[in-house]
Structure formats: C-alpha cells, structure tokens
Structure 1
Amino acid sequence: MIFRNKFLLGLLLAITAFSGCQKDDICPASTQTTSLLIIRFYDIEDRETPQPPLNLRISAVGDTAIYTNDLFNADSIAVPLRTDADITAYEFTFNYAEEEDPESPVEQNNTDTISFSYIREQEYLNRACSFKIDYSGLKVEVEPGEDEAWIEDFQIEQEEVIDETEAHLSLYY
C-alpha cells in the first residue's frame, strides 16, 4: 500500500512537472538559426579542386585559437561571425607549429589577418529559439602579417550568409 501511494505520488509529480512545458519551450534542431560563414580553401595552381591548407590555425584576433592543426584537416571550414558587431577578424596561420623547426622546407607560422564586414539583420524566431542573425553585404579584407602573405587571392561566392549549404568565400593559397 505504501509503495502504491509513493508510486502514485511520483507519477503525479512527473505529470505536473512536464505539463508546464509547452511546445515552443524547446527549439527544434530543424530550426535554422544564425548561420556560420563557410570558407573553402584552394591551391592557387588548381582553382577547381578544394585543398586543405597545411597545419592551419584560426584564432579570433586577440583571442585563443578556435581551430588548430590537430583539429582541422579539411578543405572547408565554418566560422562564426560576431552577432554584436559589424566586423569580425580572424588570424589564419599557415603551417602552424608551437616550436619552429629551422629544417622545415615550408615557412612556419605565417599569419594573415582576414576581416569580414557585413550588415546584420536580426529576425525573431520564437520564444524557444529566440533570435537569429542574417548577414548581408559581406566584404573581405586580407592583411598579410610580418611574413609575406600566404593567402594569394580570394573570391566572395555569396554576399549573404543566411544558410550553410554552400561556401560563402573561397581562399586561394
């Protein structure tokens, strides 16, 4: 009898707890939220076939790395743009090494800074998902570091960053 009462009390508490949730309290995974910027990399000699750059490290300017050589070995990457500013800047370091190797045939730790500027358009989705940001008018500026530039050219493929289905920017090195 005591077991039955405890079971019924537990069941009643569970029903009460879950009855407070509404359908819009959970953001479905299928809801498109703020998109990431898709960058695809190409060798300057072969502009048709994507190629992963050697030991790439990407860091927000003045911040820690978001991608490093042990995490990144692909021909494209998705990076976030700032939702609170109209400019986002990243340092892209080619052939990143924590300790430089004087025997290396390729220059190590060659860093270029890429600044992305855009117009932010905020859209309210619902109570669970909140807001999403769409970016339009994408502009790109590449600044070489102290070494010569490793990014030789770029092409903006899409000026609007509203989905993650295709590349927005192609970088040629």
Structure 2
Amino acid sequence: MKSFYSEKIFIALATILLFAGCQRDDICPASTQTTSLLVIRFYDVENRDTPQAPINLRIKAVEDTSVLMLNVNQDSLAIPLRTDQDITSYEFTFNYAEEEDPESPVEENNTDIIDFYYARDQEYINRACSFKINYSGLNARIDPGDDAAWISDFVIEQEEVENENNAHISFYY
C-alpha cells in the first residue's frame, strides 16, 4: 500500500516539475507567421482573367523522389521553397496518370520543370519560433523537357514572398 502511494506522489511531483520548467515563451503560437509558401494561380491562356484549374496536376521535387501534390484540380495552390538554397526546382505534370488502363485511354501527361530563383532573408521571430525565411527577387524559368510546354507563360505578381495573402506567380496554359 505504501509503495502505491509513493509512486503516485512521485509521478505527480515529476509532472509538476516537468511543466514548471516550460515557460510561456518556449512555445511558438500557431498564429505566428513563419516561413511563407509560394502561392501560384493558374489561368486560361486565351482569357487571361479566367482562373483555370489544371487537370490531375502532380508536383514533384526534382532533387528527390518525394511527390509534393498528386492529382490536384484547383486553380490556386501553395508550395514550399527551399530554405537552404536560392533555387527550388519542381516538376509540374499536367494530366498525370500513375497507371494506364488499356481499357480506358488517357491523354498523355506533360511535364514542365520549373526553377524558382530568389534571395533568402532570415528574420528572427522570437526565442520559441526562432527564424523565418523571407524570399525576395522571385523569378522563374520553365523547361518543357522532352515534350512541348503545357505552361505557355507566367507573370510574377509579387517578387517578395513574405506572406500567403495573394498570389506570387501566375501560370497561363
């Protein structure tokens, strides 16, 4: 009986000491603005004011095999830029299909490689949140690869990537 109460008292004291060690400024609030994502909008190349969602878009990092987004069908999306380099490269595949079913013909997919160029500026937030990266001088280059480019044009809407309130780049296809 005595050891049962001793264990409970020990656990209670350990819990109190554990949480007493944390201070309010040790936790980064979810509302704190951290490194922003790059916001991209897609538009119809014929009617440049009309948003147009690409069909079954796949976005994959060129540097590794990880797929960032798969079968996306929306006209606006946000993707991360690298924080350790001044360039980020992604493969944007239009009409992506993992496996072709011989019973249902699918149009060929089309991949463009897009290189995003920028300068990185570190900004100290606070002790709990540490640093965030702001990107400036945003620019891009489209490489159509072996097939014809499906993205016809792009416009840099904002060269500074400091928040996710508006689009930073618009793609026309």
Normalised TM-score (structure 2): 0.89
Residue 110 of structure 1 contacts residue 145 of structure 1 at CA under 8 Å; is this kept in 2? no
Q: Which stretch shows the higher mean deviation, 32-41 or 13-22?
A: 13-22
Q: Does structure 2 retain, via aligned residues, the 8 Å contact 1:34–1:162?
A: yes
Q: Distance in 2 between matches of 1:20 and 1:167?
A: 42
Report deviation, 1:128. Answer: 1.6
Partner-residue secondary structure (3-state), 1:50 = coil
Shift of 1:23: 1.2
1:15 partner amino acid: I
Aligned positions of 1:10-89 closer than 5 A: 10-64=11-65, 65-69=67-71, 72-89=72-89
Specify whether residues 8 and 50 from structure 1 end up closer, same or farther in structure 2 by C-alpha distance, changes over 3 A only. Answer: same
Question: Is the contact made by 1:124 and 1:131 (CA closer than 8 Å) also made in structure 2?
Answer: yes
- Which amino acid is 2:98 matched to? E
1:144 — aligned with what?
Answer: 144
Pairwise CA distance, 1:9: 4.2
In angstroms, what is the RMSD of aligned CA positions?
1.9
Give the superposition deviation at 1:18.
0.7
Q: Is the 8 A contact 2:58 2:96 kept in 1?
A: yes
Which runs of 5 or more residues in structure 2 are unaligned? none
- Counterpart secondary structure, 2:31: coil
2:154 alignment partner in structure 1: 154
- Contact preservation (8 Å) 1:95, 1:110: yes
For the 8 Å contact 1:56–1:68, the answer to whether it is kept is yes
- What amino acid does structure 2 have at the position aligned with 1:55? N
Work out the CA distance in 2 between the residues paired with 1:4 and 1:160: 60
Unaligned runs of 5+ in 1: none
Tell me whether 31-40 or 119-128 shows the greater mean CA deviation: 119-128
CA shift, 1:4, in A, is 6.3
Does the CA-based 8 Å contact 2:63-2:89 persist in structure 1?
A: no
How many residues align? The count is 169
Which sits farther off after the overlay, 4-13 or 49-58? 4-13
**Distance in 2 between the 1:62 and 1:77 partners?**
20
Amino acid at match of 1:17: L
CA shift for structure 1 position 74: 1.4
Identity fraction in percent: 65
Deviation of the 1:8 alpha carbon: 4.5
Amino acid of the structure 2 residue aligned with 1:139: N
Shift of 1:6: 5.4
Q: Output aligned runs, 1:81-120, within 5 Å.
A: 81-100=81-100, 103-104=105-106, 106=107, 108-120=108-120
